[in-house]
């Protein structure tokens, strides 16, 4: 791993903030690195308030959207809530449809089929609206590039409200209202909302237009928190406030569907628990069966029915895990068999691989071979693929440079999807490898650990950890801080785990006057370093609870024989 220590902020800013909020200089430094420099900014960071949420009517077209919905409801007309099949889309559809049903019974939901319709608004979905007499479609987490589909809907007298958070193209669809803070002429103060977050701003506006208290829509924040966690949007500003209160609901009074998905553990769920515990289950519905199964669960009000739906979704998730494991194994073998270990990219293909998991498989391959990766399978007579990238490398741009071999593609810097003709596979693969070889900087060929600060063991106290916990909820742009310390020695070092993959240490600092327990997951191979030399460690600080006892421990991210001067 490649260790990089973040740039040291202005020392005067650090000292001033440390004094004002009474924290250590190390913690103040981490805060300043995250753009928190004043007492007021720190207060808002540590004590999120619903008053921090922005006025929804600051979003372009919000007033148009509210008036259109009110008009449709007043005429007793039908509304179709349409969303993508992933977690962000299904939580958004669940949120919007549940809320609208408190205003009118004339509401239905539509999720496109991943395999027959693909991502976003489809002509099949518009036809469904035409055939069933819907006069308004509200799209969520999709629609910003659906120019032809919106035109088709409008030609058939269907109004469209687009709620999306993806980057718009140069030309926008001719919708009746577009709610997307990333529009060039939208001056909403925060533009990193999830798709479900944009939907929440719409129901907030509808709620305010009726002069109702925020308490009416507060219970919907559990869905918003799940979407923020799953869609990997920045954990800053309004997202952090929404996630903070959404987690409270998930832990204290979640909707029946989310409660049914939670395991029996009584421990308080974090954003990480949502990312790895709840989100994959919701996603599995759209990957293995259909996204509407997730919406059914998330909108269910009967506990027994929710339990049945959750059991079904857990089964889908088990299927997803089994497929993911098997296909990853086959893909790794393909790389070895084709003698491609030393390449700069990984491009693999098998016509029998399940389309619903190839994106996950691409991410798994990066865990073994850290490089831009594309996994292809066959679908509807063509090859379809999911691409994933390493930190800092724009895989979308690299794919674009292979456009002569591509039928269609879309995505962003770190994830993309594409379709090619089978006869173009080898040509595409060779061109992609050439592009990556020419453009991937040397430093990006190794996984990076971004370290927030050096620290002495004596700083790691219960008070230090209590303040550190309040940095949560963690996520992009507010990751759990990573610290480093040098000249360490392990008094006890051993491998643990069924396969002896993990590392368990008792570490003493250079002064030999303080010891810390430490565990390093999948660092068992570094036992020899811990046993035979002084070393530096990159780690997070955590609280270990065992047999009713609690003690601070280090979660090792890596250890190195060299000193910090050599990093």
Question: Is residue 530, in this structure, part of any structural domain at all?
Answer: yes
- Rounded percentage of the chain residues whose pLDDT exceeds 90: 84
Question: Is residue 313, in this structure, part of any structural domain at all?
Answer: no
pLDDT tens per residue across span 167-222: 888 899 999 999 999 999 999 999 999 999 999 999 999 999 999 999 999 999 99
pLDDT at residue 408 above 90?
no
Q: What is the pLDDT of residue 247?
A: 96
pLDDT at residue 564 above 60?
no
Rg of the chain (C-alpha set): 25
Average pLDDT over residues 23-44: 96
Are 454 and 439 contained in the same domain?
no
Q: How far is CA 556 from CA 347, 404, 510, in A?
A: 32, 45, 18
Question: Is residue 198, in this structure, part of any structural domain at all?
Answer: yes
Are 103 and 217 contained in the same domain?
yes
Are 290 and 172 contained in the same domain?
yes
What whole-number distance in Å separates Cα of residue 384 and Cα of residue 116? 13
Q: 426, 445, 464: which is the final residue of a domain?
A: 445
Q: What is the pLDDT of residue 413?
A: 81
How, if at all, do strands 78-83 and 107-110 pair?
A: parallel
Are 246 and 119 contained in the same domain?
yes
Show contacts of 405-414: CB within 8 Å, 24+ apart: 405/431, 407/382, 410/119, 411/387, 412/167, 413/389, 414/388, 414/389
Query: In terms of pLDDT, which residue wins out, 379 or 160?
Result: 160
Kindly report the number of other CB atoms within 10 A of residue 88's CB atom: 31
Q: What is the pLDDT of residue 72?
A: 98
Q: What is the pLDDT of residue 380?
A: 84
User: Domain range for residue 270?
Assistant: 56-306
Q: What is the pLDDT of residue 513?
A: 74
pLDDT tens per residue across span 467-526: 999 999 999 899 999 999 999 999 999 999 988 899 999 999 877 678 999 999 999 999
Average pLDDT over residues 409-416: 80
**C-beta separation of 90 from 81 below 8 A:** no
Are 354 and 276 contained in the same domain?
no
Q: How far is CA 155 from CA 175, 319, 320, in A?
A: 12, 42, 40
Place of tokens 């810390």: 516
Q: Sign of the C-alpha dihedral, residues 199, 201, 202, 207?
A: positive
Question: Is residue 343, in this structure, part of any structural domain at all?
Answer: yes
Name the burial class of residue 446, with classes exposed (0-12), middle (13-18) and buried (19+) by CB atoms within 10 angstroms of its CB. Answer: exposed
Name the burial class of residue 43, with classes exposed (0-12), middle (13-18) and buried (19+) by CB atoms within 10 angstroms of its CB. Answer: middle
Are 293 and 436 contained in the same domain?
no
Q: What is the pLDDT of residue 386?
A: 93
**C-beta separation of 198 from 142 below 8 A:** no
| SS3 assignment, position 4 | strand
Are 107 and 220 contained in the same domain?
yes
| CATH number of the domain residue 160 falls in | 3.90.1640.30
Q: What is the pLDDT of residue 425?
A: 97
pLDDT tens per residue across span 294-331: 999 999 999 999 999 999 999 999 999 999 999 999 99
Q: 445, 470, 504: which is the final residue of a domain?
A: 445
Q: What is the pLDDT of residue 562?
A: 65
Are 135 and 213 contained in the same domain?
yes
Total-model pTM:
0.90
Q: Range with the lowest mean pLDDT among 114-123, 140-149, 346-355, 359-368?
A: 114-123
Kindly report the number of other CB atoms within 10 A of residue 550's CB atom: 10
| CATH number of the domain residue 514 falls in | 2.40.50.460
| CATH number of the domain residue 432 falls in | 3.10.310.30
pLDDT at residue 405 above 70?
yes
What whole-number distance in Å separates Cα of residue 143 and Cα of residue 166? 9
Average pLDDT over residues 384-413: 90
Are 547 and 441 contained in the same domain?
no
**C-beta separation of 119 from 143 below 8 A:** no
Question: Is residue 312, in this structure, part of any structural domain at all?
Answer: no
**C-beta separation of 214 from 49 below 8 A:** no
Place of tokens 């740039």: 7
Q: What is the pLDDT of residue 512?
A: 65
Q: What is the pLDDT of residue 379?
A: 87
What whole-number distance in Å separates Cα of residue 192 and Cα of residue 194? 7
Q: Range with the lowest mean pLDDT among 127-141, 170-184, 228-242, 411-425?
A: 411-425
Are 296 and 342 contained in the same domain?
no
Omega before 368 within 30 of 0, i.e. cis: no
pLDDT tens per residue across span 287-299: 888 999 999 999 9
Name the burial class of residue 147, with classes exposed (0-12), middle (13-18) and buried (19+) by CB atoms within 10 angstroms of its CB. Answer: middle
Are 346 and 435 contained in the same domain?
yes
When divided into structural domains, the chain yields a total of 3
pLDDT tens per residue across span 361-378: 999 999 999 999 999 999
Q: What is the pLDDT of residue 115?
A: 81
Q: 445, 473, 494: which is the final residue of a domain?
A: 445
| SS3 assignment, position 499 | coil
Question: Is residue 166, in this structure, part of any structural domain at all?
Answer: yes
Look up residue 482 and give its DSSP letter: -
Kindly report the number of other CB atoms within 10 A of residue 269's CB atom: 19
Are 174 and 289 contained in the same domain?
yes
Q: What is the pLDDT of residue 313?
A: 94
């Amino acid at each position: 791993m490649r260790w990089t220590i973040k740039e040291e902020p202005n020392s005067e800013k650090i000292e001033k903030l440390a004094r004002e909020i009474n924290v250590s200089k190390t913690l103040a430094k981490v805060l300043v690195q995250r753009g928190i420099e004043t007492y007021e900014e720190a207060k808002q960071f540590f004590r999120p308030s619903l008053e921090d949420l922005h006025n929804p009517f600051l979003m372009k077209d919000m007033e148009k959207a509210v008036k259109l919905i009110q008009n449709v409801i007043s005429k007793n007309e039908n509304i179709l809530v349409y969303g993508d099949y992933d977690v962000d889309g299904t939580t958004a559809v669940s949120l919007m449809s549940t809320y609208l049903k408190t205003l009118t019974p004339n509401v239905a939901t539509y999720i496109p089929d991943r395999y027959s319709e693909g991502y976003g608004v489809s002509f099949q979905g518009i036809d469904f609206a035409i055939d069933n007499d819907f006069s308004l479609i509200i799209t969520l987490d999709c629609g910003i590039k659906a120019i032809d589909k919106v035109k088709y809907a409008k030609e058939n007298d269907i109004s469209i409200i687009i709620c999306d958070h993806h980057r718009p193209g140069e030309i926008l669809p001719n919708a009746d209202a577009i709610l997307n803070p990333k529009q060039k002429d939208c001056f909403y103060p925060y533009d990193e909302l999830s798709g479900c977050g944009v939907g929440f701003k719409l129901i907030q506006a509808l709620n305010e237009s009726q002069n109702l208290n925020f308490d009416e829509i507060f219970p919907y924040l559990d869905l918003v928190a799940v979407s923020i966690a799953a869609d990997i949007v920045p954990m800053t500003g309004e997202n952090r406030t929404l996630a903070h209160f959404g987690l409270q609901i998930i832990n204290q009074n979640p909707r029946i569907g989310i409660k049914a998905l939670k395991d029996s553990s009584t421990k308080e769920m974090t954003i990480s628990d949502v990312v790895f515990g709840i989100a994959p289950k919701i996603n599995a519905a759209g990957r293995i069966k259909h996204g509407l199964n997730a919406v059914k669960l998330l909108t269910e009000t009967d506990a027994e029915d929710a339990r049945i739906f959750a059991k079904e979704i857990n089964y889908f998730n088990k299927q997803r895990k089994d497929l993911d494991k098997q296909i990853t194994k086959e893909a790794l073998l393909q790389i070895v068999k084709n003698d491609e270990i030393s390449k700069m990219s990984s491009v693999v293909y098998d016509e029998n691989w399940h389309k619903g998991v190839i994106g996950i498989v691409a991410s798994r391959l990066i865990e073994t071979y850290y490089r831009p990766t594309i996994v292809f399978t066959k679908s509807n007579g063509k090859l379809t693929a999911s691409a994933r990238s390493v930190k800092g490398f724009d895989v979308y741009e690299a794919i674009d440079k292979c456009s002569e071999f591509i039928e269609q593609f879309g995505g962003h810097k770190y994830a993309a999807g594409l379709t090619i003709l089978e006869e173009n596979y080898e040509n595409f693969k060779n061109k992609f490898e050439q592009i990556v070889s020419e453009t991937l900087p040397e430093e990006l060929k190794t996984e990076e650990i971004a370290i927030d600060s050096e620290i002495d063991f004596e700083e790691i106290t219960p008070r230090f950890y209590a303040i550190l916990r309040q940095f949560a909820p963690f996520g992009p742009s507010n990751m759990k801080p990573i610290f480093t310390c040098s000249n360490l020695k392990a008094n006890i070092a051993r491998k643990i785990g069924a396969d002896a993959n993990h590392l368990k240490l008792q570490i003493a600092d250079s002064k030999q006057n303080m010891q810390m327990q430490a565990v390093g997951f999948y660092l068992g191979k570094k036992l020899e370093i811990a046993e035979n030399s002084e070393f530096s460690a990159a780690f997070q600080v955590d609280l270990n609870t065992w047999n009713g006892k609690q003690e601070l421990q280090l979660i090792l991210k890596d250890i190195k024989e060299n000193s910090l001067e050599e990093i």
